[in-house]
Amino acid sequence: MEIKLVETAAGEVEYSVTGKGIPVLFVHGGHSNCHETLFHKGFDLEKFQLITPSRPGYGRTPLDNHRSPSETANLFISLLNELNIDQAIVYGISAGGLTAISLAAEYPDRVNKLILASAVAKKWLDENDVVYKAAQKIFNPAIERLTWGMVNIFFKLFPGMIAKSFHKQFTKTPMHQLRREDIQELADTMKHFRSKEGFLNDIDQNIEEDNLRRIRSSTLIVHSRNDASVPFEHAEHAHNLIENSRLIPLDNEWGHLFWLGEDSEIPIKKTLDFISE
């Protein structure tokens, strides 16, 4: 996997690219960046070119004037232009959902298919919400590096305990003995996490319902009823407003992170089947 930094017509973008074939543009979730590969699971690198930009405020992509989903969508279209890609499958994850929706709504000729995975599809957190207020403190750009540094230290020292604590934040399923491979995969994913300026910007984002109504791309919505991070109502909201959409509700172990667990093969296969249709 190559990590690159490119100056586009709309601004600077850091991105990773791997594989060859049909372009898939991943719009990552909160705290993430172009280094994450969890959502690449199942993709054949001989058939797909996987492109993952760091969203504005994450990684080395500056926040600058790309604070809204629409502004970020414009930046990513400029990236596709630089890569000489006319059309791509857009795969929006979690807090990246609003940007993925904007891409499909505002640039219909550039989006072949749209996938919304555990995705935010409307205003996520209320300003009076306890989670919103906590995020303002622990993920503030002034201290978020310390927050994630401590998470990684404790993950190395007490992997099972830390995995269980995050399990509660991702899923409503009862606590149980976690598989060693899931703990390791979670640790490998989260070691790249940084909130920087991106996460506090994420929790203030919103999108008009008309944007969802404008989408004409064939759309797959994959979301767990057990999601403890982004409520299932986001999936229902998107499905009700996007005309050509299909909703796959999950009853999986890891809720929000449906790429983990013994049952992860089901949503991954259904996503790939949708792409191949």
CATH superfamily of the domain spanning 2-127+196-276: Alpha/Beta hydrolase fold, catalytic domain (3.40.50.1820)
For residue 44, name the pLDDT band (cuts at 50, 70, 90): very high
User: What's the pTM?
Assistant: 0.96
Task: Give the percent of the chain with pLDDT over 70.
Answer: 100
pLDDT at 28: 98
Q: Say if residue 176's pLDDT is above 90.
A: no
Torsion sign across C-alpha atoms 56, 126, 25, 186: positive
22-27: strand order across its sheet: 2-8, 11-19, 48-53, 22-27, 88-93, 111-117, 218-224, 245-250
Mind listing the pLDDT tens digit for each residue in 107-123? 999 999 999 999 999 99
Q: Say if residue 268's pLDDT is above 90.
A: yes
Mind listing the pLDDT tens digit for each residue in 245-261? 999 999 999 999 999 99
pLDDT at 128: 87
> Distance between CA 97 and CA 27 in Å, rounded?
7
> Distance between CA 178 and CA 168 in Å, rounded?
12
Q: Say if residue 129's pLDDT is above 90.
A: no
pLDDT at 248: 98
For residue 131, name the pLDDT band (cuts at 50, 70, 90): confident
For residue 175, name the pLDDT band (cuts at 50, 70, 90): confident
pLDDT at 170: 97
How much is the average pLDDT of 159-188? 94
> Distance between CA 148 and CA 268 in Å, rounded?
28
As a 3-state breakdown, the chain gives helix, strand, coil percent values, each rounded to 5, of 40, 20, 40
Mean pLDDT across the chain: 96
Residues belonging to the active site: 94
Q: Which two tokens stand for residue 36?
A: 């994450």
For residue 54, name the pLDDT band (cuts at 50, 70, 90): very high
